[in-house]
Amino acid sequence: MPELDIREVSKTFGDIRALSDVTLHVEDKQYVCILGPSGCGKSTLIRCVAGILTPDSGQILLDGNSIERTPIEDRRIGYVFQDIALFPHMSVRSNLSYGLAVRRAPSNEIATVTNEMLDLINMRERARSYPSELSGGAQQKVAVGRAIATGSHLFLLDEPLGALDALVRAELRYELRKLASDLGLTVLHVTHDQEEALSIADLVVIMKSGHIVEVGKPSEIYHSPRRLFTENFVGETNLLEGTIVEVVGDGCVVNVKGRKIGAPRGEKSLGQKIVLCIRPEFVALSKPNNFGWSGVVTQVTFLGSHNRYVVDVDGGIEIVAAESTVEYSTGFRIGERVSVHVENSAHMLLFDYPAEGLESEISLE
Amino acid sequence: MATIRFTNVSKSFGKVVALDDVSFEVEDGEYVCVLGPTGSGKTTLLKLIAGLLNPDHGTITFDGRPVNKVSAQNRNAVYVPQQYALFPHLTVLQNVAFGPLARGAPPAAALETASKTLELVRLTWRASAFPSELSGGMQQRVALARGLASGAGLLLLDEPLGALDARLRLDLRHKLRDLVKNSGFTAIHVTHDQDEAMSVGDEIIVLRNGKIQDHGPPRRVYRKPSNIFVANLIGNASFLEGLVDSTVGETAIIELRGGLTVQAPSKNLTLTDPVILALRKERLRISCERLDLDNLFKGEVRAVRFLGNSREYLIRVPNGLIIASRTFGGNERAEYAVGDQVLAGFLEGDAMVFGYPAKGLREELEIE
C-alpha cells in the first residue's frame, strides 16, 4: 500500500549541503537499503521522510500525497534508531503496547496485537522482562516489534543493527528481512555495512556527499555498477588506469603502464583514457608461465574461506588477487614469483576516466 | 620493546569480573589481535598493560620484570583509546608532536618526527588543520599517528579502525600492519572484526567473559579452534548435534540428529558420546553433479544470500537439518536458486568435532 516518492529533496545545515536534489522512488513492499560513507546524507534523508527534519525544498509523497506538512504522529511511519530507545522502566509487553495505548486503542485490541508482536519477534517468554535484562540484540527486536505494533506499513530503520556484535548483526538482519517479507512492509534501511545491504535489500541506494550515486539490485551494484565510485566503495577492486590502444570487434586492448591486457570494449573508443576494474576474486594466480603478467607476491592474508594476495607486477602495477582456500588449498608464499591472469575477461569493467580525476571520483568525502 | 607476560591476572570492577585468571605472553615485535564480543574484557586487558589499571591478582612482567609498581609514563607503552581524544586547540601536526615534546625532545626534532609520521598515515596535507575540521576517519588516523610518534615501542590500540567506513578500514588495516612491522613496534590491537584480526595479527587472542578461549596464529585458530565458541566467533560454521555411532581407525561414524550419518575424524571420541560437528560454511560443497566426497547427500536450496565476493546457500538435507554453504567468487547470477535439488557434501577431514558442551549448545554459542 505505501508507495514513497522523494522528489528533488534538498537540505542544508549552515554551509553544509546534506542533501542535494535527491529523487528516489520506493515501491510498495520493497526493502531498500541506503548505503554510503559517513556524512553522505543517508540519515538526513530518512529523517526528512520521518518528519524529524523538514527539507529546504522538494517534495515527499506517500501514496501520492505530500507529507511534509503532516505532523510526525500522523504519518503512520515506524522508525527504529541505532541507539536502542526502549522505555527502561517498562516491561517488554508494555513497551510493545505503548504506541497503541497512546492512540487510545481498545484494550482488547491492544492485548491481541501485543501478543501477536510477542510471537512475531519470538519473545513471548520474555514478555515480563525489562530492557536491562535483555541482550542488545533482543532489545533491538523489541524496538522493531514496537514500531510494527503501531500498525505502520512504512518503516524507516537507521542503522538498526549498528550497535550489535558482528555475529548477532548477521543473524538479526535475516530475521528482520523475513519479518518485513512476511508482513508485507515497505522498508527504508540505512546502513554502512555493505554485506548487510547486499544480503537483504531488493534495491541498494548508493549515496555520496548528499547525492544519490546510483540505485540497483545488490548483484548489479557489486558486479556491474554504472559508476566507478560504487565499484570502489562496495567490496574490494583493482583500479588500473590505462588507454585503449586497439579495438577488435567487441574487444579491445588496454595499455596499463606499458603492459597490455585484452578487455571487453563496451562503448569505449580507440585512444580513450579509461579505468579498468577487476575484483580480486576474478584475478587468478599460477606458477610462472608464459601467459598473463609476471609478478612477485608481497603480501598474503589468510581469511578463512579465501587467501588475499598482493602481487607487485613487473613495471610497477600492484594487483590484489583472492583465491578460495577450498579449491586452491596450497596457496602462494611471500616472495614467490607468479603469473597473474584474468580467466574470464567479461569480469573486467571499463569506466571512462573521470573528468574530475580518479582520486576525486573515489573519494569518500 | 619487551616480552610481555601475564601470569594469572584478574581484575574486577565491583561484582563484575572483567578479567579472570588470564595468562599469556606477547613476544617482542609481535602483532597481536585481541578479539571478543562486547564486554569480554578486551579494553581492560589493554589498560592493564598500559598501567592505567592495576590487577587485583597476578603479575604482569615486561622482560621478566614485574611492572605492577611501574607508572604508566614509564612503561614505554602508548594507549590509543577508542575515542580518539585529540587536543581540540592544537593543529594536527602539534597533536602528533605532543608525545615527543612531552618526552623532552627539542621542538625541531619533535616536529620532524611528527611530519614523518603524518606522511605515513597520508595526512601531511592536513597538518595545519584543527581536529574539528577533520572527518572521523581522519581524526582516527591522527590519533594513530600520535601514538606512533610518541616514541613508545609498545602500541596498545583499542579498535583503532572502528570509526572508519568499511572501505577505508580495509585499506588502512594493511597499512597499519606494515607500519608497525617496518618500525619494529610491538602492537596489541583490540577489535571485534574477525577479518581485521586475521588480516593484521601474527597471533589472535580470543576472549570471552574475561577468560582466554584461544591463542594462536590466525590459520591455526581458524582451522583448529579450541572450542565451539571460537569456531563460531572466527569464521562462520554450522553446528550439528550428533552421537558417535562407531569408530573405525581414524574415522568415526556420527549419527546426526534426525538420522543422517556422516564420517568425521575419530580423534578423542568415545562411543555414544554426544558431540557437536562443526562445519565451516565454505567446506560444505554443493553441485548438481556427483562430487567425490566422503559425505554426500541430497539437498534442497532453501535460501540464497548474496554477499558480494561470495554467496551463501542454505541447504536442507534429508533429515531436515539446514546446513549453510558458502561459495567464494561467483557471477552476477547465482548458480542455484531456491527450490533447486542439489548434491551437498564435505570431506571427512573438514568436519571439526567437539564434545557436547556441558552448558548446552545455544548457551555455548551465545555472544552477548
Averaged over A200-216, what is the pLDDT? 96
Q: Which of A66-75, B50-59, B78-87, B332-341 shows the lowest per-residue confidence on average (mean pLDDT)? A: A66-75
A168:B367 CB<8 A: yes
Residue A262 grid cell? 585484452
What is the Cβ-side half-sphere exposure of residue B319, based on CA atoms within 13 angstroms? 14
Q: What's the mean pLDDT when you consider all of chain B?
A: 91
pLDDT band at A1 (very low <50, low <70, confident <90, very high): low
Instruction: Decide if B161 contacts B200 (C-beta within 8 A).
Output: no
- The structural domains of chain B, with segments of one domain joined by +, span 4-230, 236-365
Compute the half-sphere exposure of residue B130: CA atoms within 13 Å on the CB side of its CA: 5
Q: Do A167 and B367 touch (CB under 8 A)?
A: yes
Nearest to B174 among A167, A220, A299 (CB): A299
- Chain B residue numbers with beta carbons less than 8 Å from the beta carbon of A302 are 198, 218-219, 222
The answer to whether B166 contacts A194, with C-beta atoms less than 8 Å apart, is yes
Ranges of CATH 3.40.50.300 domains, chain A: 4-231
* Burial category of A360 from C-beta neighbours within 10 Å (exposed 0-12, middle 13-18, buried 19 and up): exposed
Q: What is the pLDDT of residue B122?
A: 78
d(CA A294, CA B288): 36
The helix (run of H) or strand (run of E) holding residue B146 is helix B136-149
Question: What's the pLDDT tens digit per position in B97-123?
Answer: 998 888 888 999 999 999 988 987 778
* Span of A193-202, B174-183, B212-221 with lowest mean pLDDT: B174-183
Question: Alpha helices, DSSP H only, in chain A?
Answer: 42-50, 92-102, 107-120, 136-149, 166-183, 194-200, 218-223, 228-233, 358-362
Q: Say if CB B145 and CB B111 are below 8 A apart.
A: no
Q: Any idea which of A67-71, A349-353, B208-212 has the lowest mean pLDDT? A: A67-71
**DSSP per residue, A295-355:** EEEEEEEE-SSEEEEEEEETTTEEEEEEEETTT--S---TT-EEEEEES-GGG-EEEEPPT
Chain A residues inside the 8 Å CB shell of B199? 301, 303, 308
- CATH 2.40.50.140 domain range(s) in chain A: 237-362
**Residue A61, phi then psi, degrees to nearest 5:** -115, 130
Q: How far is B73 from chain A (nearest CA, A)?
A: 33
Question: Cα–Cα distance between A86 and A131 in angstroms, integer?
Answer: 7
Instruction: Check if A116 contacts B (Cβ < 8 Å).
Output: no
**Interchain CB distance below 8 Å, A324 and B194:** no
Under 8 Å CB pairs connecting chains A and B tally to 112
Measured between CA atoms, the residue of chain B closest to residue A236 is B167
Which candidate, B155, B206, B141, places its Cα nearest to that of B185?
B155
Residues of B in contact with A223 (CB under 8 A): 331-332
Strands A349-352 and A273-278: antiparallel
CA distance A187 to chain B (A): 18
* Chain B nearest CA to A41, separation (Å): 14
**Cβ separation A37–B165 shorter than 8 A:** yes
- Give tens-digit pLDDT for A256-300: 999 999 999 888 899 999 999 999 999 999 999 988 899 999 999
By C-alpha distance, the chain B residue nearest A279 is B309
**Angstrom distance (rounded) from CA A256 to CA A336:** 23
A295 touches chain B (CB under 8 A): no
Residue with cell 563496451: A266
Cβ–Cβ contact A135 with B under 8 A: yes
Closest CA to A242 of A228, A258, A256, A261: A256
Residue B151 amino acid letter: G
3-class secondary structure for B217-262? Answer: CHHHHHHCCCCHHHHHHCCCEEEEEEEEEEEECCEEEEEECCCCEE
| Residue of B305, B311, B325, B346 for testing the chain A interface, max A β-carbons within 10 Å | B305
Taking the C-alpha atoms of residue A206 and residue A203, their distance in angstroms, rounded to an integer, is 10
Does residue B2 contact residue B154 with C-beta atoms inside 8 Å? Answer: yes
User: How many Cβ atoms sit within 10 Å of the Cβ of residue A102?
Assistant: 10
Residues of A in contact with B219 (CB under 8 A): 302
pLDDT value of position B327: 94
What's the Rg (C-alpha) of chain B? 24
Check CB contact of A280 with chain B, cutoff 8 Å: yes
Are A364 and B198 in contact (CB < 8 Å)?
no
Provide the shortest C-alpha distance from residue B219 to chain A (in Å): 7
- At the top level of CATH, the class of B4-230 is alpha beta
Q: Per-residue pLDDT tens for A244-255?
A: 999 988 999 999
* Confidence band, pLDDT 50/70/90 cuts, at residue A80: confident
**Length of chain B measured in residues:** 368
For the domain made up of B236-365, give the CATH fold.
OB fold (Dihydrolipoamide Acetyltransferase, E2P) (2.40.50)
* CATH code at A4-231: 3.40.50.300
Residue of B nearest to A322 (CA): B329
| Range A62-77 average pLDDT | 78
Q: Answer whether A224 touches B (CB < 8 Å).
A: yes
The strand pairing partners of A31, in sequence order, are A187
Contact A326 B195 (CB under 8 A): no
Superfamily in which the A237-362 domain is placed by CATH: Nucleic acid-binding proteins (2.40.50.140)
Q: How far is B329 from chain A (nearest CA, A)?
A: 5
Report pTM.
Answer: 0.91
Which residues on chain A are in Cβ contact (under 8 Å) with B234?
A: 304
Counting every residue written for chain A, the total comes to 365
